[in-house]
Structure 1
Amino acid sequence: MMALLGAVSAYTGTAAAQGGPGGGPGGGQMPPPEVVVRAVQPKDMPLSYEFAGRVNGSREVEIRARVAGILLERTYTEGETVKQGDLLFLIDPAPYEAAVARAEAMVQQEQARLAQAEREWKRIASLFERNAVSARERDETLSTLELARATVAGARAELRTARINLDYTKVEAPISGVTSLEVLSEGSLVGTGMDNSLLTRITQLDPVYVNFAVPDAEMIALYNLMDSGALRMQSRDKIAVQVKLGSGVVHPQNGMVNFTDSSIDPQTGTIRMRASVPNPDKRLLPGQFVRIALQDIVLKDAIAVPQASVLQAAQGMMVYVVNAQSVAEPRPVRIGQALGSEWVIREGLKPGDRVVTEGMIKVRPGAPVKVVEPAQAANQASGKAAAGQGNR
């Protein structure tokens, strides 16, 4: 683009040295340069926002032993998909079966003591009504009854604990997902601590999460467009996404953004976001790097011009606009997003403006131009090229 400006400056300087438009060798008037223009009109344009992302399982859980013992059996195949509630491991249940039997016996024993205390209470209460026993003896009997009831409740609680521990010897899948390698092999002694209780991991792959980060300036600009009503989309909280693999292949299912951080990362200046993406065929795997594109965001009544027609001037970006008198006028513009081969123009152009799209190198500010059709300009360029070859 700078080379194009240099060419424009060189052309302007040469023309001035030759006496301006009429400064040709023969003193004749040089014809105005031929240009192709486009009359810009507002139209709805889909915006493209694409970012780097990384895939994670929607749920990743560690499967840990909740009771200690010898690991008797692994009942799943490593790497296969399991369903919630499937049996994964079996820890030796014998000690816990014995604990349940002992707790059941304690419950029966305490229930027998409670029955004896109830019979004794009925007898003493009847005697107390006939003034046959003292109040102290009555109170002691009542206390014995209440203590027996509490002891039975404690024994029943111990029985529930023993049964729970027995159930924990069967390690089941808490979620549906794909299993990883076993950490401890059959025959190992497992515990309940952080260093000896991990058995395996399960990752849920349908759906998966794709984590990505959006530059704060870009996100704020998008929110400003939303608030101004310039965009057509579902809502700020419902943004569809498309996932592209590293090979460029597009994932067949679109997802939805389900999390946007409420703060900006001070180290990177980005806002963390997360999308939930259906993954029934398990094509997306945790740790995979992908490109994620926001979908269904349309800029209403947008004005766009070819990127080649936008020039870099000392004061910023500009285009040449041909007025009703066929004079080229430089027009400062503020560009927005690049969409394909076009720039979205935020400011500087209005509907109906004729922007020069071809022949900018021959245009001088404030000089007349000749507007031609694209096909005519191409034919004339081909003719000049052929004439040049003939002169050789």
Structure 2
Amino acid sequence: MDVEITRSKKPWGLLVLLLLLVAGGGFLAWRHMKEAEKSKASAGAQMPPVVVTAETLKVQDLPLPLEYVGQTAGLKQVEVRARVGGILLRRCYVEGRPVRKGDLLFVIDPAPYKAELDQARGTLQQQKVQLDRAKIEYDRVTALFEKKALSEKDRDDAVASYNGARAAVEAASAAVRQAQINLGYTQVRAPESGITSKETRSEGNLITLDAQGSLLTTIVQVNPLYVDFAIPADEARRNDLLASEGKLKLPPQGLEVRIALGDGSVFPRVGKVNFQDRQVDPATGSIKARAEFPNPDGQMLPGQFVRVQLQGGALKNVILVPQRSVLQTQQGNLVYVLDGKNVPHTRPVVLSAPIGDVQVVEKGLAAGERIVLDGVVKVQPDVPVLVTSGDAPQS
């Protein structure tokens, strides 16, 4: 009986021993894991804070230069056309050079028109002789009619002959004047001052009076000079809004306009905007505008591409943030605002379109707040940072 009791206790002892071994091993593993986590946390606590620079926002003014792509154009383009036909004898100008109003450009063979003038003058002399005869006859018949020596019909015939002779003289005089005009038209002169283009008919060609045959050249008037450009509709809306809020100040005499050339040089004369459309071009999403410049020496030519610079405007009493301080996300623009302990907090903001390297704050920030300027991509929200330069936190 005692032997059976001893045998029945052995399995329970082994089981207890096994449980003690498992519990001890688990405790050791748990302790090792805790020590590893503690070591990891200690290592993380020793990571240096992100280094950033900061800026305190303030209300300020900012010059607002506006720049657009433009193209020069002449004030007007005038076609130089022949008003009489004939052989083109001579071109009297240098193609592409400026001319003044009234300068001689072309000479058409005047010989036929001189002959027509001589013929018209001869006809006029004949008609004057006929008028003298009719006048003498009219005076004679009138005197006899008053003496009852001639009939009323004789008197009427004399009056008709005299009036007909006078009309013939007037017609002949008109023909002389027309012949003189036609002879004058053989010298084709510049109708306006400007820059000449290439001739369309060379010397020796027959000039006709149809639409194609009468065109000799064109003159583009370049003083004053026009510059056409377009303002993006969104930018125009922004400027109108800023002006209505008193944040955009414009000079009383209007914006000063300058043009920069492709080589970087600036045209020395100052222009002014003389036209701005009141509707948006649906094809480009922009508003057409035009500036006018004095160009007395013809230095600028039509068709040149330039950069139009509108100067004199200034943003007044606005808060500006540098573009490098702004995070662009799918939810919109964000900046990091620092509290008194240099802890950054994300702040959604509404900003204007970029103006150079800054943007105007429309909503979300106030003067006196500090924002992270450089190092924004390394910043973690609500994790303290080290501000090495820039503005210190306010006490």
- For these two proteins, the number of residue pairs brought into alignment is 355
Other-structure match for 1:15: none
Give the secondary-structure state (helix, strand or coil) at the position aligned to 2:115: helix
Deviations 1:306-348 (A, max 9, x none): 1111112343112223356755443322222323321222333
Pick aligned residue for 2:269 from 253, 261, 273: 253
Output the CA distance in 2 between the equivalents of 1:216 and 1:26: 55
Residues 98 and 298 in structure 2, CA contact (< 8 A), matched pair in contact too = no
1:60 pairs with 2:77: yes
Moved more, 179-188 or 307-316: 179-188
Other-structure match for 2:60: 43
1:209 pairs with 2:230: no
Task: Give the aligned residue type for 2:108.
Answer: I
* TM-score w.r.t. length of structure 2: 0.76
Larger radius of gyration: 2
Deviations 1:213-244 (A, max 9, x none): 23333334334444554322246x94432222
1:242 pairs with 2:242: no
Other-structure match for 1:385: none
Other-structure match for 1:347: 363
| Identity fraction in percent | 45
User: Quick one: structure 1 residues 228 and 137, their matched pair in 2 at CA, closer, same or farther if it must change by over 3 Å?
Assistant: farther
Residues 335 and 346 in structure 1, CA contact (< 8 A), matched pair in contact too = yes
User: Quick one: structure 1 residues 299 and 374, their matched pair in 2 at CA, closer, same or farther if it must change by over 3 Å?
Assistant: closer
1:302 pairs with 2:318: yes
C-alpha deviation, 1:165, in angstroms:
0.8
* TM-score w.r.t. length of structure 1: 0.76
Moved more, 187-196 or 264-273: 264-273
User: Quick one: structure 1 residues 341 and 123, their matched pair in 2 at CA, closer, same or farther if it must change by over 3 Å?
Assistant: same
Give the secondary-structure state (helix, strand or coil) at the position aligned to 2:121: helix
Other-structure match for 2:96: 79
Map 1:198-347; keep pairs closer than 5 Å.
198-234=215-251, 238-279=254-295, 283-323=299-339, 328-347=344-363
Give the secondary-structure state (helix, strand or coil) at the position aligned to 1:182: coil
C-alpha deviation, 1:167, in angstroms:
0.6
C-alpha deviation, 1:77, in angstroms:
3.0
Output the CA distance in 2 between the equivalents of 1:292 and 1:148: 69
Output the CA distance in 2 between the equivalents of 1:375 and 1:216: 38
Other-structure match for 2:26: none
Output the CA distance in 2 between the equivalents of 1:333 and 1:375: 21
Task: Give the aligned residue type for 2:196.
Answer: T
User: Quick one: structure 1 residues 239 and 132, their matched pair in 2 at CA, closer, same or farther if it must change by over 3 Å?
Assistant: farther
Output the CA distance in 2 between the equivalents of 1:138 and 1:230: 92
Output the CA distance in 2 between the equivalents of 1:230 and 1:121: 90
Output the CA distance in 2 between the equivalents of 1:335 and 1:357: 16
Pick aligned residue for 1:107 from 120, 124, 130: 124
Other-structure match for 2:188: 171
Residues 24 and 30 in structure 1, CA contact (< 8 A), matched pair in contact too = no
Deviations 1:107-135 (A, max 9, x none): 33333333444444444444444544444
Output the CA distance in 1 between the equivalents of 2:78 and 2:55: 59
Other-structure match for 1:150: 167
Moved more, 48-57 or 303-312: 48-57
Stretches of structure 1 that go unaligned for 5 or more consecutive residues are: 1-17, 377-392
Deviations 1:56-113 (A, max 9, x none): 3334333222111111222223333332222122111111111112222223333333
Residues 90 and 169 in structure 1, CA contact (< 8 A), matched pair in contact too = yes
User: Quick one: structure 1 residues 153 and 354, their matched pair in 2 at CA, closer, same or farther if it must change by over 3 Å?
Assistant: farther
Other-structure match for 1:88: 105
User: Quick one: structure 1 residues 28 and 269, their matched pair in 2 at CA, closer, same or farther if it must change by over 3 Å?
Assistant: closer
Other-structure match for 2:3: none
User: Quick one: structure 1 residues 211 and 27, their matched pair in 2 at CA, closer, same or farther if it must change by over 3 Å?
Assistant: closer
Stretches of structure 2 that go unaligned for 5 or more consecutive residues are: 1-36
User: Quick one: structure 1 residues 129 and 263, their matched pair in 2 at CA, closer, same or farther if it must change by over 3 Å?
Assistant: farther
Task: Give the aligned residue type for 1:358.
Answer: D
Moved more, 194-203 or 112-121: 112-121
Output the CA distance in 1 between the equivalents of 2:185 and 2:128: 27
C-alpha deviation, 1:192, in angstroms:
1.7
